[in-house]
Amino acid sequence: MTESGKPILYSYFRSSCSWRVRIALALKSIDYETVPVNLIKDGGQQFSKEFQALNPMKQVPALKIDGITIGQSLAIIEYLEETRPTPRLLPQDPKKRVLVRMISDLIAGGIQPLQNLSILKQVGQENQLAWAQKAISSGFNGVHG
């Protein structure tokens, strides 16, 4: 939290994981401050010692709130949902709720991490497009219900 008591979001403007958290914060009207972590500049600011101390995974987002620092976008969103329950983000009906969780896990575990910067580097420039397309289409094909 800042001295004024606002949560601090460590975020990169192009990061879809950070977007998820920014959307949840906005829907819940939570006032916060942003510390930009540029994933490209300076060889990647996520690799700095200061940021690694916050999130040893060297990834955004991370949220400082209520005296703790949370990494992983879905864990952050769940924490916000539990501690600031209105307006609710998850449907009341368990069958609808599990569908939301399934889609969220598919995106956050089965689609997006397969194409983050560190993975694309390993895949090599010439294979990146096909790799990303495969991750996206197999993830989308996993949605049913």
Ligand X SMILES: N[C@@H](CCC(=O)N[C@@H](CS)C(=O)NCC(=O)O)C(=O)O
Would you tell me which residues interact with ligand X (CB under 6 A)? Answer: 15-17, 39, 44, 46, 59-61, 72-74, 108, 113, 116-118
Query: Would you call 35 helix, strand, or coil by DSSP?
Result: strand
Least separation in angstroms between residue 27's CB and ligand X is 17
Between residues 92 and 122, which has the closer beta carbon with respect to ligand X? 122
Closer to ligand X by Cβ: residue 60 or 65: 60
Half-sphere CA count of 74, side-chain side, radius 13 A: 13
Task: Please state the separation of Cα 64 from the chain's center in Å.
Answer: 14
Residue 68 sits at φ, ψ, to 5 deg, of -130, 165
Helix residue spans in 3-125 (DSSP H): 16-27, 49-54, 73-83, 94-105, 117-123
State the DSSP H helix or E strand holding residue 68, giving kind and residue range, or none if neither: strand 68-71
Nearest to 46 by CA among 11, 16, 21: 11
Q: Which is nearer to ligand X, 9 or 60 (CB)?
A: 60
Minimum distance of ligand X from residue 48's CB (angstroms): 12
Least Å distance between CB 10 and ligand X?
10
CB of 62 to ligand X, least distance (A): 9
Nearer to ligand X, 5 or 128 (CB): 128
Question: Whose Cβ is closer to ligand X: residue 64's or residue 73's?
Answer: 73
- In this chain, which residue has its C-beta nearest to ligand X? 59
Classify 42 in phi/psi space as left (phi over 0), alpha (psi -120 to 50) or beta. Answer: left
